[in-house]
Amino acid sequence: YRNTIYQAYESSDAALGYILKNLWDKNTVVLVLSDHGFQSEPEAQGRKPDRTVRILPEVLMATLNWNLENVRTFNIRGATFFRDREENAARIQKMEHELRAIRVAASDAPLFEVNRDPSNNLEIRLRDEIEELDDFAVRLPEGRVIAANKIIEGDTGGISGDHHDEGILIAAGAGIRRGFKIENASVLDMTPTMLALMGLPVGRDMDGRVLEEMFTNVPPAQYINTWESAAPQFSKDEEETTEELKNHLRSLGYL
């Protein structure tokens, strides 16, 4: 793709330049931020990552005659996950067995690598031994043979990039220091900083801080205990719901 990435940079820079040039209010501050960055991975060249392969989970579930109301699916970093909504142990075991039973028709080798994550989700990836996705068939658990491209698509080509832990923060406008590099900023700092920019108080219960170092003149510190209308009152059911939400976020890789 030669200069595609650089052209994307130029396009984004031009769009940002247009915004800055045409701001009707010169007191406006523009913030550009992301919660993660990107990086090159030359060592990934020629590797066969599943991220270039798309497993079609809804089609796969329908092919296996799963009840779609009982199962949810999601994709993280190239792996496809299935989660039983009721965490029914017998149903999860049956799902795992059926996924493992899908075979390459010509060799009888398993099509997927199947694992359980700590949250009891079923994780499947195309096995590394599968080099080509065209013109081969798979055998389903009940013996029926179908074309592999019914349930998977894409290619096994290599990739050259991935996410980076560090995101970006760019700030410009009235009261912002020019040419200054911010160190050790966090996504959690964004809300306190924007509140300070707008002359509003920061909640003492907020994580993060005001990025005072990016201002030419630091806004006067203002604080309130909380922006919440009332202190939350938790019942036992709500506590269980909160823990369930945490488990859900953990299963998605966010905690």
State the pLDDT at residue 20. Answer: 86
Taken in order 227, 229, 232, 238, the sign of the CA dihedral is negative
Q: Where are the beta strands (DSSP E) in 95-254?
A: 103-104, 112-116, 122-126, 137-139, 145-147, 152-154, 161-164, 169-173, 202-203, 223-224
Cα 28 to Cα 18: distance, rounded to the nearest angstrom: 14
State the pLDDT at residue 50. Answer: 43
Are 113 and 124 a contacting pair, CB within 8 Å?
yes
Nearest to 197 by CA among 176, 169, 227: 176
Cα 62 to Cα 141: distance, rounded to the nearest angstrom: 13
Question: Residue 61: helix, strand or coil by DSSP?
Answer: helix
Tens digit of each residue's pLDDT, the chain (255 residues): 678 889 999 999 999 999 888 887 878 899 999 988 888 776 654 444 444 567 889 999 999 999 988 999 988 766 799 999 889 999 999 999 999 999 999 999 999 999 998 888 999 988 878 776 667 899 999 999 999 989 988 755 556 677 788 889 999 988 999 999 998 899 999 999 999 999 999 999 999 999 999 999 888 889 999 998 765 555 555 556 677 777 777 766 666
Are 53 and 78 a contacting pair, CB within 8 Å?
yes
List the structure tokens of 16: 């940002």
Q: Which residue ranges make up each domain of the chain?
A: 4-35+167-224, 50-161
State the pLDDT at residue 159. Answer: 60
Q: Counting beta carbons within 10 angstroms of the beta carbon of residue 149, is it exposed (0 to 12), middle (13 to 18) or buried (19 or more)?
A: middle
Cα 67 to Cα 84: distance, rounded to the nearest angstrom: 10
pTM of the predicted model as reported, rounded to 2 decimal places: 0.49
